[in-house]
């Protein structure tokens, strides 16, 4: 048991022992050495109290939160659409005016998205105007089952070993829930705890991991949490003429990810990463932040999500407030003493920046004073996969792995924004060097990135 304790932990236990003895004998710490030499009771008590302190520390210390592995969904080749092909699909519906078509094409051309992003089958191959519920559910099933199958295979996990299931989808919330869909398909145990999250926007992936971590930390039992992050594009395609609502058609694309989280310290040798810090800040008390990304109906009754022009400013303000709370947790003292924006690259080896759009990435870069080499993964991820909503940070993580940039001991910051308005952070420590993986979604194209011009 004691071999599992580090030198620092033993030192902490020793200090606790000394403090305990000081209280026990009501004797200044400086006199304990003399007591140890001349008083047999104290001589016997010291090793006993040290053992008690070590045992107390061992049994009360929090379990580590480990990510065993993760998986990202990569749709079939026939779902890949260029910007020109997307415009053809828009015109084929015959539900948009020429002004709306021109507006969407203009947004697409300056969005930072490339010609290889993916659309769901109901949008790509639709024969009717609008999308039926059955088609939307099939879209969700395809992504969710694909990533879970891949993840279970990677981690060699028996589905009945799963204790917690968290599924998040920003807008799509069918009945029964998506968590029930997972429980039914994989025949999970009757006592499995399920959590179905919605309305979190692009921060849902980070929030779900944070939630899984807190649930595992609050338990003294070893547990496994399956986190699934998805979004449904087809059910939220907007068919009106309101420009802030048309923007979502231009930047959101198919994406889904799953991660296996555990508090089993014996899995450290095979786990990819350890969660060392997390922070969520909510800025919804401010009206402009609350309405920056908002689901509503236009004047004709068409539902959609409006991305207001104020969104980029709101993201910048929220990020500044967020890093004021995050900085003392992660930065060295030399950076905290700076009067201006501290250098977060002093705390992190890699940063997964929210890939919500070109303007958002540029705003984060301005606020944090980051160079192009730091924002490269976010920009390339947006170009290749588009805004995949809550799963975007996992596609960005897979970029780092495909480039073999992660080394054992490296610190990574995952940063995401969400509706409401939320700013969320995860801080990971890599437990191994990255290596080539067969199912990495970047495998067939990583040699073309980073682009010389974006």
- Catalytic residue numbers read 202, 282, 350, 354, 383, 387
Q: Across-strand partners of 194?
A: 165
- Characterize the bridge pairing of strands 193-197 and 350-352: unpaired
The 8-class DSSP code of residue 266 comes to G
22-to-16, 37, 184 alpha-carbon distances in Å: 10, 16, 58
Contact 244, 145 (CB under 8 A): no
Contact 427, 364 (CB under 8 A): no
CA angle 123, 125, 127 (to 5 degrees): 95
Tell whether omega for the bond before 421 is within 30 degrees of 0, i.e. cis.
yes
Count of alpha carbons within 13 angstroms of residue 148, beta-carbon side: 26
Compute the distance between CA of residue 81 and CA of residue 97 in angstroms, rounded to an integer: 22
3-class DSSP state of 286: coil
Compute the distance between CA of residue 385 and CA of residue 448 in angstroms, rounded to an integer: 14
Tell whether omega for the bond before 176 is within 30 degrees of 0, i.e. cis.
yes
Both structure tokens of 95:
């539900």
Sequence-ordered alpha helix ranges (H) in 331-453: 333-336, 358-368, 372-385, 392-402
Contact 405, 348 (CB under 8 A): no
The 8-class DSSP code of residue 277 comes to E
Compute the distance between CA of residue 267 and CA of residue 424 in angstroms, rounded to an integer: 26
3-class DSSP state of 11: helix
Sequence-ordered alpha helix ranges (H) in 26-69: 32-38, 40-60
């Amino acid at each position: 048991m004691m071999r599992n304790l580090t030198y620092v932990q033993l030192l902490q236990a020793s200090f606790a022992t000394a403090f305990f003895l000081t209280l026990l004998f009501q004797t200044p710490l400086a006199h304990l050495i003399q007591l140890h030499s001349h008083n047999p009771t104290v001589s016997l008590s010291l090793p006993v109290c040290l053992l008690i302190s070590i045992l107390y520390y061992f049994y009360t210390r929090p379990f580590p939160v480990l990510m065993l592995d993760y998986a990202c969904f990569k749709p079939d080749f026939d779902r890949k659409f260029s910007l020109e092909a997307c415009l053809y699909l828009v015109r084929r519906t015959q539900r948009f005016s020429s002004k709306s078509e021109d507006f969407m094409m203009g947004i697409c051309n300056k969005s930072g998205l490339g010609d290889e992003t993916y659309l769901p089958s109901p949008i790509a191959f639709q024969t009717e105007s609008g999308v039926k519920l059955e088609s939307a559910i099939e879209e969700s099933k395809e992504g969710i089952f694909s990533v879970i199958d891949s993840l279970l295979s990677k981690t060699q996990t028996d589905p009945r070993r799963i204790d917690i299931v968290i599924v998040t989808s920003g807008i799509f919330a069918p009945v029964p829930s998506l968590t029930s869909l997972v429980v039914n398909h994989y025949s999970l145990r009757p006592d499995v705890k399920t959590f179905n999250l919605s309305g979190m926007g692009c921060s849902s992936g980070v929030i779900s991991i944070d939630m899984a971590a807190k649930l595992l930390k609050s338990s003294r039992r070893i547990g496994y949490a399956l986190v699934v992050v998805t979004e449904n594009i087809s059910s939220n395609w907007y068919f009106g003429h309101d420009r802030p609502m048309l923007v979502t058609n231009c930047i959101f694309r198919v994406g889904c990810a799953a991660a296996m989280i555990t508090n089993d310290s014996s899995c450290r040798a095979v786990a990819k990463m350890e969660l060392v810090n997390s922070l969520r800040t909510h800025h919804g008390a401010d009206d402009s932040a609350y309405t920056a990304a908002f689901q509503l109906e236009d004047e004709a009754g068409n539902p959609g999500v409006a991305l207001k022009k104020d969104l980029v400013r709101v993201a910048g303000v929220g990020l500044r407030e967020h890093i004021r709370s995050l900085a003392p947790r992660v930065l060295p003292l030399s950076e905290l003493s700076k009067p201006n924006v501290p250098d977060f690259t002093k705390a992190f080896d890699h940063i997964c920046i929210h890939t919500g759009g070109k303007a958002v990435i540029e705003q984060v870069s301005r606020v944090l004073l980051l160079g192009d080499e730091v924002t490269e993964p976010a920009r390339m991820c947006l170009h290749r996969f588009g805004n995949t909503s809550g799963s975007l940070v996992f596609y960005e993580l897979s970029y780092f792995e495909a480039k073999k940039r992660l080394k054992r001991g490296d610190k990574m910051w995952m940063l995401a924004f969400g509706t409401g308005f939320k700013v969320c952070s995860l801080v990971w420590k890599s437990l191994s060097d990255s290596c080539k993986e067969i199912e990495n979604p970047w495998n067939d194209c990583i040699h073309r990135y980073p682009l010389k011009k974006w």
